[in-house]
Amino acid sequence: MEDRVKQRVLTQLPVTINGSVKANCFDINEEGMYVQTEDVFKSKEIINLEFDLDCRKMTVKGTVRHIEQGFGFGVKFINLSAEDRINLKRFISGKGTCEPNLKIAVLIDSSTQTRAVYKYRLTHDGFSVIEAENGSEAIKALQLTKPMIVIIDMQTEGISVYKILQYMQSKEDLKSVPTLILTTRFVPEEAEKLLGLGCKDYMVKATTTPNLFSEKIKRILKK
């Protein structure tokens, strides 16, 4: 595991599985990748993957493993060609011509509609967005990538917003990542507690337009 962490590249690569399933890869190394998708696959199932790497189209086979139902799974590459191995090594070593996109936002909200609104704005502002609909999915996403910013709904289901913030503060590579909390109403005592756990700012959904949301993100990242 330690070698994998050292060698991996955090990125946002669109991946097509078996010719039709659309997914996102945000963790890749010479042995495999982790993909985010809600589609169901079986452990040890052999799948076909298509993605662009180092400005080249790659089509490879892989074995499904480490399944997290409703979130994604790991893939171990099999039977890579010599050319594919060279492309992977160049990309991971930073010598490739295509830079990975590290402008990543993790968006945590139980409402599919609300996530769609904020995801649209974040994408418009140049972010790749990793979505989570509850606290458990949020922790998994944070374990697999280092985002530029994390946006959390105050009413996050499962693991609470407080525990998510505590988790981030306990990790050296996440404690400096800014967080924005979205809520349905402003409660001073609540806001004070959140700020004490490393939250950078707090917004009430009813008064937050897409433009205000975008401006708030920009101000947070400039601090």
Domain ranges of the chain: 2-92, 104-222
Report d(CA 131, CA 113) in Å as an integer.
12
For residue 17, count CB atoms less than 10 angstroms from its CB and return exposed for 0-12, middle for 13-18, buried for 19 or more. Answer: buried
**pLDDT tens digits, one per residue of 84-123:** 887 888 787 765 444 445 688 999 998 888 888 999 899 8
pTM metric for this prediction: 0.64
**pLDDT tens digits, one per residue of 148-174:** 999 999 988 888 999 999 999 999 889
Helices (H), the chain: 2-7, 82-92, 112-124, 135-144, 161-170, 188-196, 210-222
Report d(CA 23, CA 20) in Å as an integer.
10
Across 22-39, average pLDDT: 87
Percentage with pLDDT > 70 across the chain:
91
5 — pLDDT class (breaks 50, 70, 90): very low
Across 175-203, average pLDDT: 86
Is 2-92 assigned to CATH 2.40.10.220? Answer: yes
> Domain 104-222 belongs to what architecture?
3-Layer(aba) Sandwich (3.40)
